[in-house]
């Protein structure tokens, strides 16, 4: 069966990665968390004191950054490696969340990440989540979903996720971070977060994970089916 690209875009912490991961595993597709790539770049920039106003420094630094995903059979997770080092836990910390949107507005950073993401998905058969997948990375994605949820729900979900990793963060701090990132992500010059015209809207405020996964799988199945019917008719 012809493999497709499923693009999941939307605001921070509305369940994109959880949904994308489950959809990918259901379809036997690869899952690519593009936010993790921007987080890994942010970690590198912070560790190497890269100035965001110095394009040459940025270009040099990007030349030294290799971001990869490796499957960990113990956790069944795809974990992020920065230059060969597992940074999965480090990049989820609040100090990275507080800087990542500023790093992701830098055009050089976006160009480098988008090129890598396009390479990762060139054989199709991927579920990719992020902010600009359906608009800039794969504008030709067969299925596009734009996810949203009210900010209080998102902040509570994020707090639970952090608690699971033994990080206790105040709800207001999380909410402020989400709102700030949403603002920067949606108003930046280069490929801002916006709903693609052909994206299905998915508001997860009152949905369970199973319902979200079902929604995406149903859109994928109906695309694959209508494609097959069109092929049979020709």
**177, 185, 213, 219: residue in contact with ligand DC (rule CB under 6 A):** 185
- Write down the least CB distance from residue 115 to ligand DC, Å: 13
CA distance 160 to 65: 31
**Quick one: 77 or 224, whose CB is closer to ligand DC?**
77
Report the alpha-carbon distance of residue 44 to residue 50 in Å, rounded.
Answer: 8
Contact with ligand DC (CB under 6 A): which of 62, 106, 116, 132? 132
Q: Which of 15, 121, 130, 134 binds ligand DC (CB under 6 A)?
A: 130
DSSP code, position 98: T
Q: Contact at 8 Å (CB) between 188 and 133? A: no
User: Within 10 Å of residue 101's Cβ, how many Cβ atoms?
Assistant: 20
CA distance 175 to 154: 8
Question: According to CB under 6 A, which residues from 85 to 104 bind ligand DC?
Answer: 100-101, 104
In angstroms, what is the minimal distance from the CB of 228 to ligand DC? 30
Give whichever of 4 and 128 is closer to ligand DC, judged by the CB atom. Answer: 128
Please enumerate in sequence order all residues whose Cβ is within 8 A of that of 139, keeping only pairs 6 or more positions apart, or say none.
196
Q: Is 146 in the site for ligand DC (CB under 6 A)?
A: no
Per CB under 6 A, residues contacting ligand DC are: 12, 34-35, 38-39, 100-101, 104, 130-133, 181, 185
């Amino acid at each position: 069966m012809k493999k497709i690209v499923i693009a999941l875009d939307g605001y921070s912490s509305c369940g994109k990665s959880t949904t994308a991961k489950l959809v990918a595993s259901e379809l036997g597709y690869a899952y690519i968390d593009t936010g993790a790539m921007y987080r890994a770049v942010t970690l590198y920039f912070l560790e190497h004191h890269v100035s965001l106003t110095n394009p040459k420094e940025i270009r040099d630094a990007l030349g030294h950054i290799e971001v990869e995903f490796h499957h960990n059979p113990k956790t069944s997770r795809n974990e992020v490696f920065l230059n060969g080092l597992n940074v999965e836990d480090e990049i989820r910390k609040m100090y990275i969340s507080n800087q990542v949107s500023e790093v992701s507005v830098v055009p050089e950073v976006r160009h480098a990440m988008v090129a890598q993401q396009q390479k990762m998905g060139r054989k199709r058969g991927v579920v990719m989540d992020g902010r600009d997948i359906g608009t800039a990375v794969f504008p030709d994605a067969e299925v596009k979903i734009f996810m949203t949820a009210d900010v209080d729900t998102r902040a509570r979900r994020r707090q639970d996720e952090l608690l699971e990793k033994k990080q206790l963060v105040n709800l207001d701090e999380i909410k402020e971070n989400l709102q700030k990132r949403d603002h920067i992500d949606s108003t930046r010059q280069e490929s801002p977060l916006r709903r693609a015209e052909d994206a299905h809207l998915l508001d997860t405020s009152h949905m369970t994970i199973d319902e979200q996964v079902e929604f995406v799988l149903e859109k994928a199945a109906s695309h694959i089916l209508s494609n097959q019917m069109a092929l049979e008719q020709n």
